[in-house]
Amino acid sequence: MGGLSDRAVRNLSILREKRPLIHNITNFVVMNYTANALLAMGASPVMAHAENEVEEMVSFAGALVLNIGTLTEDWVDSMIKAGKKASELGIPVVLDPVGSGATSLRTNSAKKITEETDVSVIRGNASEILSLRNAQSKTKGVDSIHTVEEAAESAKILANELGTTLAITGPTDLITDGSRVIEVSNGHPLMRYVTGTGCTATVTIGAFLAIDDDPVTATATALAFFGLAGEVAGERASAPGSFMIELLDALYTITPERLGIGCKIRED
């Protein structure tokens, strides 16, 4: 082991020692599952989206996760309010632009959040990431119709423009801040048959950001951990229902040492 593998070991160890509070303004589809995932991996989740409490709540948090999966204009206002407070306090913000590019509400809301808050990491599939740069990029629902490779160059440009770290997830995950590029190849095919796995990857990034102040290494090690959990779950499950439960169990049972051995991280 060495380098990013050692960083992964360190991050998971510190996460479980410190149990940071992760404030989520997220969608109804995944709220319960992502809260359980955060608990399983060693973090402490809170799901709070009321506009009159988000500033107070985020001030206690180690990271803020914004997810536009079931969006309303009121929720956008809450996200921006919480994001501005987090930025003011130096608390990292993660954005999951679910379905950006599919409708103008989603695309415009994602862009507004990036313009008005200091977003540390944006995680999405290739089409969602491309939609933040190119108005002609269209998604097929919330599934990507672009490959990671097709989005890589645009991601580097966009990361520089936004001053943020981008994570494009797929069979191979790509993480870039515009100069550094890291690929993570952990994961399992059954992950695409359980709703909310992308959203769960995002909250995992939030948890790791709370204890690692380098967004690139926090994101890469988080995705390696989550992908390895998928691999472990896939060894035990043969279908989506059991896989969903085994994934939670894997997030709980994977040790830092096993992550160091099993993570598949490559820096270009």
| pLDDT tens-place string over residues 115-155 | 999 999 999 988 888 888 755 445 444 455 566 666 677 78
Q: CA-based Rg of the chain, rounded to a whole angstrom?
A: 17
DSSP 77-136: HHHHHHHHHHHHHT--EEEE-TTBTTBHHHHHHHHHHHHHS--SEEEE-HHHHHHTT-TT
Express each pLDDT in 204-246 by its tens digit.
999 999 999 999 999 999 999 999 999 999 999 999 999 999 9
The CATH number that domain 4-267 falls under is: 3.40.1190.20
Which residues make beta-bridge pairs with 183? 174, 266
Note the residue count of the chain.
268
pLDDT at 182 over 90: yes
Contact call for residues 178 and 157 (beta carbons, < 8 A): yes
More confident residue, 41 or 170: 41
Task: Tell me the C-alpha distance between 156 and 164, whole Å.
Answer: 10
Main-chain phi, psi angles of 127, to 5 degrees: -70, -40
What is the residue-averaged pLDDT of the chain? 92
Residue with token string 């536009």: 68
Contact call for residues 69 and 128 (beta carbons, < 8 A): no
SS3 of 165, please?
strand
Q: What predicted TM-score, i.e. pTM, was given to this entire model? A: 0.94
